[in-house]
Structure 1
Amino acid sequence: MDRLTNTVRPYAWGSPTAIPRLLGVEPTGEPQAELWMGAHPGAPSRLDRGAGPVSLADVIAADPAGELGDATLTAYGPRLPFLLKLLAAETPLSLQVHPDLAQAAAGFADEEARGVPVDAPHRNYKDANHKPELICALTPFDGLCGFRPAAETAELLDGLGVDELKPYADLLRARPEGDALREVLTAVLTADPVAMADTVHKTTEALAAGTGPDHAAYAEAARHYPGDPGVIAALLLNRVRLQPGEALYLGAGVPHAYLSGFGVEIMANSDNVLRCGLTPKHVDVPELLRVVRFEATEPGVLRAGGDPDQEYPTPIGEFRLSRHVLDGRAPTRTLPAGTPGILLCTAGRIALRDRDGARLDLAAGESAYVSATETVDVGGEGTLFRATTAPTPAAA
């Protein structure tokens, strides 16, 4: 077991208070969007095994089999295949979608062959990996996820009373659903920018004046991105509100955006993002349309219920996330060896003990790395998240 020292990422959309409050430190006044736990080269965690602080990425590189275990090493190579985060959104993130493995590999190879610099602002594929994600709420958490049924979106657009939205509503009713969703999103993202900015302005005013259950959430996103066509694209998506302990899995091709809230996020180690809007960053419309899955989906909210031990199932193997609520009275739980893991305390105080009797206590916001060879007992009173791998993916 190794206590981790982690890096905060100060993205502009981050909350200035949520992460400091959990850590019990004074806010800096600047946004603190994400706390990264893992071996991502952008901000690897650090640990100290007696010779001074070293990067978790370097620790794994020095002994991949010992740190990751044979199954994880064989499946994903000599690297930790997931990144764990605390994510604190004060304002909406961009509307985005992620490629599947084949799309990522092809897109990365194409941009490499064309000599597009990896740090170029118009580059789509920073690596050849997919980027499935799972977010588990620590507070009420608002987001957008997947296309709403076309008929329901048509009704929403009609209800706003904006003449410029009527052609989209008519198209959503007249065409097969997948075709209609593709055509409407294409029309929104390729429209004349001046005309679209005017449509967005009128739509924003209608949303602000509306009384529907989702109007306020869409209006808040629109307020932060005036004139952005992503405001209209966002109306095509399901609005989701997670309660603490509930989670949402976001697979390849599913358009989504986080709007506000504080949660634990885990993802495959990738930086591949294709943006649809609600952003000043590059939007590659042809590539986006190639990756998006144009089908209405019901957001698959994963609920913890009354079970104090909850694993959030996902159809991929790079990561598994489980949540353990300890009351201080039940016997300690044993976390099995065989795969690498990161343990994160989000409330109370958690005691970790290895087979040699060594003990490590985690307060809220603190985390520890556990290699594949270690078996750990956990006790105490609080909430513990465990991130690990499942080298044999679950059935999709």
Structure 2
Amino acid sequence: MELLRNAVRPYAWGSRTAIPQLQGRPVPAPHPEAELWMGAHPGDPSHVLGPDGAELSLLELVDADPVGQLGEDCARRWGNRLPFLLKILAAEEPLSMQAHPSAAQAAEGHAREEKLGIPRDAANRNYPDPTAKPELVCALTEFHALAGFRDPNRTVKLLKAIETPGLGKYTGLLEAQPDPAGLRALFTTWITLPQSALDELLPEVLDACVRHVQDHGEFATECRTILELGETHPRDAGVLAALLLNRLTLRAGEAIYLPAGNLHLYLHGTAVEILANSDNILRCGLTPKHVDVPELLRVVDFACGEMPVQHGECAGQRMAVYHTDAPEFELSRMEWAAGDDAEIEVDSAGPQILLCTEGDLLVLASDGEQVELRRGQSVWLPAADPAVRVRPLGGERSQLFRATAGACEL
């Protein structure tokens, strides 16, 4: 059981306040702080803090003793790698629109790019590793996102509400085939439009969105989002693609699971994110980074309808579990009301990271070892360690997230 020192990723879209506030540092930070990484990702692994003040990379720790750190089943299933990465995500501005491959797509794409000799750190590399990248995001604050394709009939209604001379033919295309095939056809048409055609269509659409917002129309929230994206990316086909996606506002504790192929875009807010330990991203737009349209179309899933929002399945008085079909990870949330000092037992089922997001907590092992876990801190629990108990300190409302590997059976 070791406290972790975790890396902060300073992407331009990050917040100057959310992560520093969580960790009790001065606000605002000098630079945007977008993500706090907890895990053994080769790009920025956490470090364990020993009792003598010495530090060791969690990646090195796992490499040196994969069975002791991960457990025999997990080490075998994931090739001696910690299969998940836990993050705090703090979005002040929208991220890129993107989707992630399935395990089969990632393995095939990685092998293909290896054969072509594309360097793994090249800007045009789609598959730096051969693994899938499902993810789940759970809101800590109000969290805004676009995720999954909206029901086509609902999208037709939106497009008609902002009808323009240039938009009408595209509305008709989807209205004639309001299903996943119709969405694929319209999406493909829009993201492959010549720039000259985009430069004519996008201003029309943005002007129509302004009018719809001014009129307090049914789709005012969706139109505000399109206007925000259009202001930041005025000539980008991703702005049109955003018209096709579900617009979501998550409250604290609510989560969405993004399986392979789900097209999504995080807009604003702070969340806990757990994902497979992979870097495979296919971008659609709204970014200066590489966009590979043919490969994106091979990966995107055009299934449509409302995006399921999870509240966490009750697993006891103080615990909720967010279930997914991802074998790489599982996320749980534990909460104590102010004045509640009950202990919760956390079993030793494989490798775990515990993250405190509210209050202060005491983590106690059966062998007498204990660690005080302050707000914004996390602790690494190897598979070989015994079960621990967790209880609040100080009588305040407290919250803990628990990241574990999913089912490790082959």
Q: TM above 0.5, one fold?
A: yes
Asked if 2 retains the 8 angstrom alpha-carbon contact of 1:154 and 1:168, the reply is no
Matched, 1:384 2:396: no
Figure out how many residues of one structure are paired with residues of the other and give that number.
394
Determine if the alignment matches structure 1 residue 19 to structure 2 residue 29: no
Q: Partner residue of 1:36?
A: 37
Q: Which runs of 5+ in 2 are unaligned?
A: 214-219
Q: How far did 1:230 drift? A: 0.2
8 Å CA contact 2:34–2:91 kept in 1: the answer is yes
Higher mean Cα deviation, 160-169 or 108-117?
160-169
Tell me which residue corresponds to 1:360. 371
Match of 1:322 in 2: 332
> Which SS does the other structure have where 1:270 is aligned?
coil
Unaligned segments of structure 1, at least 5 residues: none
**Counterpart position of 1:154:** 156
Deviation of residue 308 (structure 1)?
A: 2.9
2:229 maps to 1:221: yes
Deviation at 1:329, TM superposition (A): 2.5
Shift of 1:237: 0.5
Question: Contact between 1:312 and 1:321, CA under 8 Å: does it hold in 2?
Answer: yes
Alignment CA distance shift 1:191-1:242 (3 Å)? same
Offset, 1:76: 1.2
Aligned to 1:59: 61
Report if the CA contact (8 A) 2:146-2:247 is conserved: yes
**Matched-pair identity in %:** 47
Counterpart residue number, 2:99: 97
Report if the CA contact (8 A) 1:36-1:43 is conserved.
yes
More displaced stretch, 136-145 vs 151-160: 151-160
TM-score by length of 1: 0.96
- Alignment deviations for residues 371-390 of structure 1 (CA, whole Å, 9 cap, x no partner): 11221100005100000012
Give runs of aligned pairs for residues 139-218 of structure 1, distance below 5 A.
139-175=141-177, 177-211=179-213, 212-218=220-226
* Letter of the 1:235 counterpart: L
User: Quick check: 2:97–2:238 contact (8 Å CA) kept in 1?
Assistant: yes
Within the alignment, does 1:277 sit opposite 2:293 as a pair?
Answer: no
The answer as to whether partners of 1:122 and 1:282 remain within 8 angstroms in 2 is yes
1:292 equivalent in alignment to 2:326? no
d(CA) in 1 for partners of 2:406, 2:194 = 47
Change beyond 3 A, Cα 1:232–1:156: same
In structure 2, C-alpha distance between the alignment counterparts of 1:92 and 1:23, rounded to whole Å: 23
How far apart, CA to CA, are the structure 2 residues paired with 1:127 and 1:251?
Answer: 17
SS in 2 for 1:194: helix
CA contact (8 A) 2:356 2:376 kept: yes
In the alignment, what sits opposite 1:6? 6
Q: Name the residue aligned to 1:303.
A: 311
Aligned mates of 2:175, 2:211 — CA distance in 1? 25
Kept after mapping to 2: 8 A contact 1:343/1:367: yes
CA distance in 1, matches of 2:198, 2:37: 37
Q: TM-score, normalised by structure 2?
A: 0.93
Cα distance in 2 between the residues matched to 1:224 and 1:91: 9
1:312 to 2:314 alignment: no
The 8 Å contact of residues 330 and 403 in structure 2, kept in 1 or not, is answered as: yes
Alignment correspondent of 1:78: 80
